[in-house]
């Protein structure tokens, strides 16, 4: 039962990220001078956010089945996730392939998706 609820939560988070991508694309296409890099940055950020959501789900599921050291496992998995995201931001920042600001906006979409999840549940239940 818990795994099904978690998978539903992750699916709703990713659905919210898709909505965020569509809505955030409008100002990116209007205000960013290099539209390709802007959209690629936003897309990369949304992909990173989706990966973070899946990673958090896996970490939470593993910690539920651990007999001890759950909190340290969750802390280390969170640190590893943040280091990977920081490394991706640094990589793309130094290469200049994408717009880093729009990538950060895409990553921020995970927060927005989490906040609109109750609204999505209400809409999808109707």
Q: Is the pLDDT of residue 30 over 90?
A: yes
Write down the pLDDT at residue 123. 87
Q: Does the pLDDT at position 108 exceed 60?
A: yes
Angle at 50 between CA 66 and CA 36, to 5 degrees: 160
- On the question of pLDDT at 2 being above 70, the answer is no
Average pLDDT estimate for 24-28: 96
45-86 confidence digits (pLDDT tens): 999 999 999 999 999 888 888 888 888 889 999 999 999 999
Our CA angle for 123, 60, 13, nearest 5°, is 25
Measured at the alpha carbon of residue 81, what is the angle toward residues 104 and 75, in degrees to the nearest 5?
A: 130
- Domain boundaries of the chain, sorted by first residue: 2-125
DSSP string, 19-61: HHHHHHHHHHHHH-SSHHHHHHHHHHHHHHHHHHHHHHHHHHH
With left for phi above 0 and alpha for psi between -120 and 50, is residue 68 left, alpha or beta? Answer: beta
């Amino acid at each position: 039962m818990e795994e099904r609820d978690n998978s539903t939560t992750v699916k709703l988070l990713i659905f919210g990220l898709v909505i965020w991508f569509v809505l955030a694309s409008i100002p990116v296409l209007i205000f960013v001078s290099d539209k390709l890099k802007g959209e690629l940055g936003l897309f990369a950020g949304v992909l990173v956010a989706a990966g973070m959501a899946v990673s958090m789900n896996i970490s939470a599921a593993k910690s539920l089945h651990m007999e001890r050291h759950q909190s340290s496992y969750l802390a280390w998995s969170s640190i590893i996730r943040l280091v990977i995201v920081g490394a991706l931001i640094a990589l793309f920042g130094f290469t200049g392939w994408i717009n880093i600001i729009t990538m950060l906006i895409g990553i921020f979409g995970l927060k927005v998706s989490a906040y609109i999840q109750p609204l999505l549940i209400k809409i999808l239940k109707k």
